[in-house]
Amino acid sequence: MGKIDFKAILATENNFPEQQVLDEKGNVVDQDLMPDLTDDQLVELMTQMVWTRTLDKRSTALGRQGRLGFYAPTAGEEASQLASNFAMQPDDFLFSGYRDVPQLVHHGLTLAQAFLWSRGHIAGNNYSEKLQAVPPQIIIGAQYVQAAGVALGIKKNKSGQVAYAYTGDGGTSQGDFYEGINFAGAFKAPAVFVVQNNGFAISVPRAKQTAAPTLAQKAVAAGIPGVQVDGMDALAVYAVMKAARDFAAAGNGPVLIETMTYRYGAHTLSGDDPRRYRTKDLTAKWEERDPLIRMRNYLTAKGLWSEEKENAVIDQAKADVKQALAEADAVPKQKISTFLENTYAVQPQNIQEQIAAYKAKEDAQNG
Amino acid sequence: MAKKTMIKAITDALDLELAHDDKLLVFGEDVGKNGGVFRATEGLQEKHGEDRVFDTPLAESGIGGLSIGLALQGWHPVPEIQFFGFVFEVMDSIGGQMSRFRYRMDGSRHLPITIRSAFGGGAKTPEMHSDSFEGLITQFPGIRVVVPSNPYDAKGLLISSLRSEDPVLFLEHMRLYRSFREEVPDESYTVPLDKAAVAREGNDVTIVTYGAMVRESLKAADELAKNNISAEVIDLRTIAPLDVETILTSVKKTGRVVVVQEAQRQAGVGAQVAAEIAEKGILYLDAPISRVAAPDTPYPFAEAEPDWLPNSNDIVEAVKKVREF
């Protein structure tokens, strides 16, 4: 009896240390992992993070005023979202979840379109031909199986791109999460899968999703590498993501990355109150780990950042939001006849009849 | 020209289109080296290569996602769902994702995917192999559902489906795979989507049907002819969206309708056909619309199939009732 030591097996399977480059104060703690970024790139990355923090504040306010619709707050996740996206190439294919609008915007979606998506207007989803992405995915996990498909398509096209997809901690419990990483693994397809672990899936804490001590180790089930990284540390996120991209693009197959992060705001603006399930102390603890603090300290010490620079970015973000809102407001109201026209390339009988009926209705309203 | 089974006609269509369209990809569980559990893809991997015809891990949802992703990279995926009873695993990819893709992206992207899947009763399969779940997918705008009833149509409809810019669910009735042969041209040809066929002309009653029930309806029509009842049989071929025009033209002529499906009465597309006729052709009718369908239970245990599945006798009986109304 007892020849197999299950506790020992568990201990060896659970070795996925959290990677970090900068500590909470902005000191370098791992020089070996330090990514090779120029001063300009460092400033650009910080600029994107500050811009996005301002976008989040404005979007939350606009949501409350009823000027935006569906919105999932992003504050706290800037390093996880933007440093990971910063490591990818412009023609890499992005699969975002519903909280990952900042990546889409920095990948080429116009801010006005992001606002239209929030409001529920089709113009937000009319993607330019060169934008390598699809709209934010609402069905949690679906983006993972689709990313495996795009990655296999890329491999067959030999185009050198990589597909990358985001989900949250709760999303790792879905079947499609597992099938996505497993398919990409079986086909050795160039994909990077990111799990943004912010500790909660709406109100359900991460510990209630799985007994696995890390989410990165779920990669083992697909036979692919998994890495856990400090998701509040932009440099660590960038370094790990860049290495994963290089690994995948070189034909070695996919990688799974877990970023340890936090959302300061609610799950979404649609009635969620995080005070029901999170303590003030917990949020305060994560506020000390704010990704902006450590990057600000690090860059200021290097002479690359200042209060004036930061304020200029904030002002720019506010101006961009104002401009994008104006653009979104100017987009014509949606027509049911257009929806019908976009349902099939070749219109079947029922669609033809309904187009005619709705066009008559729309003409009557306009005339 | 040679006499071919429906399964051979399907293999031929895939073979021709693999050669015609170098972006076409055929994949699924056991479709590669094994040639498919019904031999529908037999010889295709050997001829067209492992890059074009390949096996996948055993996960229907993954196959659905794989198809969407490949289409987004310019490929023309032809995935197979081994038995349509397994559709529930991939329901989101079909109903939640691919069917709405063109609409969702304002026409800026589209997905030319043809899902092939076997279904249909009479072969004494184990559970969840033979169920007629087509009605579930006909409720999703943006995807077509095609069900051929004979080898000639199967080849032409499949080629049309493979060339469609929008997703198509192509359902292959297992009982029709090898039960009879008919003349099928060797070369490529198409049968139009969204278009029903008049499988047999008649004047007294219209039988609207699809899939294996087309053969049963033709058999019933032969039987009825002996009693001087002339039945017109409409084979829907594309069951969503419906070719209402062809149905109405026939109903206008005959004034009587029996809608026949293998699916349960509360499933399939029979109710949709009946509603369209009631809305657009009620003044043509001399009798209420009748439906022949399976009982509203889950699909039967194998030994009970002969008692449960609708057949030509049920159709004859229904036609006589609408005649005598």
* In a shared domain, residues A216 and A345: no
Out of A129, A148, A341, the one facing B66 most closely (by C-beta) is A148
Within a domain: residue B109? yes
Residue-wise pLDDT for A38-76, tens only, equals 999 999 999 999 999 999 999 999 999 999 999 999 999
Are the beta carbons of A187 and A148 closer than 8 angstroms?
A: yes
Within a domain: residue A21? yes
* In a shared domain, residues A259 and A362: no
**Confidence (pLDDT) at A272:** 87
User: Is the pLDDT score of B308 beyond 90?
Assistant: yes
Look at chain B and report how many structural domains it folds into. Answer: 2
* In a shared domain, residues A230 and A243: yes
Is B56 in CB contact (< 8 Å) with chain A?
yes
Domain of A25, in residue numbers: 6-332
**Cα–Cα nearest to A49, from A272, A294, A301, A324:** A294
Residue of A110, A183, A187 to mutate for B, most B C-beta atoms under 10 A: A183
Residue of B29, B50, B103 to mutate for A, most A C-beta atoms under 10 A: B103
CA gap A61, A45 in Å, rounded: 25
Within a domain: residue B190? no
Q: Quick check: A349 and B243 CB within 8 A?
A: yes
List residues of A with catalytic annotation: 263, 267, 277
Size of interface A-B (CB pairs under 8 A): 146
Handedness of CA A132, A137, A141, A146 (dihedral sign): negative
Are the beta carbons of B92 and B64 closer than 8 angstroms?
A: yes
Q: What CATH number does the domain containing B316 carry?
A: 3.40.50.920
Within a domain: residue B110? yes
* In a shared domain, residues A15 and A121: yes
Within a domain: residue A1? no
**Confidence (pLDDT) at B135:** 98
Q: How high is the ipTM of this complex? A: 0.97
* In a shared domain, residues B180 and B201: no
Are the beta carbons of B292 and B261 closer than 8 angstroms?
A: yes
* In a shared domain, residues A351 and A314: no
* In a shared domain, residues B179 and B203: no
CA atoms within a 13 Å half-sphere pointing along the CA-CB vector of B243: 21
Look at chain A and report how many structural domains it folds into. Answer: 2
The runs of H, that is alpha helices, within chain B are 6-20, 44-48, 60-72, 91, 101-104, 134-138, 151-163, 213-226, 244-254, 270-281, 305-308, 312-324
**Cα–Cα nearest to A110, from A127, A97, A93:** A127
> Does the reported pTM lie above 0.80?
yes
Q: Give, in degrees to the nearest 5, the angle at Cα B228 between B222 and B231.
A: 55
Q: Quick check: B73 and A150 CB within 8 A?
A: yes
Structure tokens at A218: 């779920």
**Confidence (pLDDT) at A2:** 66
* In a shared domain, residues B105 and B155: yes
User: Is the pLDDT score of B106 beyond 70?
Assistant: yes
Are the beta carbons of B143 and B166 closer than 8 angstroms?
A: yes
Mean pLDDT of chain B: 98
Out of A180, A343, A345, the one facing B141 most closely (by C-beta) is A343
* In a shared domain, residues A244 and A361: no
DSSP string of B264-275, one letter each residue? ETTSSSHHHHHH
With beta carbons under 8 A apart, name residues in chain B contacting A135. Answer: 104-105
Is B19 in CB contact (< 8 Å) with chain A?
no
CA gap A346, A56 in Å, rounded: 41
CA gap B25, A153 in Å, rounded: 10
* In a shared domain, residues B233 and B264: yes
Within a domain: residue B139? yes
Cis peptide before A291 (omega within 30 of 0): no
Of B136, B157, B184, which one is at a domain's C-terminal end? B184
Q: What CATH number does the domain containing B28 carry?
A: 3.40.50.970
